[in-house]
Amino acid sequence: MNKKNRRHTFHARLTEFILPPIDDGLVLGRQSPIGHIAVGKALSLLTTTQFEHVLVEDDVIGDVLVRSAILRKISPEQLRRFVLEEIKPLMGPEEIIHLNLKIEIEIDQEPR
Whether the full predicted model's pTM is greater than 0.85, yes or no, is: no
Strand pairing category for 61-67 and 51-55:
antiparallel
Lowest mean pLDDT among 8-22, 53-67, 81-95: 8-22
Measured CA to CA, the distance from residue 21 to residue 11 in angstroms comes to: 23
1 pLDDT above the threshold of 70:
no
pLDDT-derived band at 45, boundaries 50, 70, 90: confident
Across all residues in the chain, what is the average pLDDT?
Answer: 90
Interval 16-44: pLDDT, tens: 777 677 889 999 999 999 999 999 898 88
The total number of residues shown for the chain amounts to 112
Interval 82-98: pLDDT, tens: 999 999 999 999 999 99
Measured CA to CA, the distance from residue 35 to residue 32 in angstroms comes to: 7
pLDDT given for residue 19 in this prediction: 67
- DSSP state for residue 2 in the 8-state scheme: P
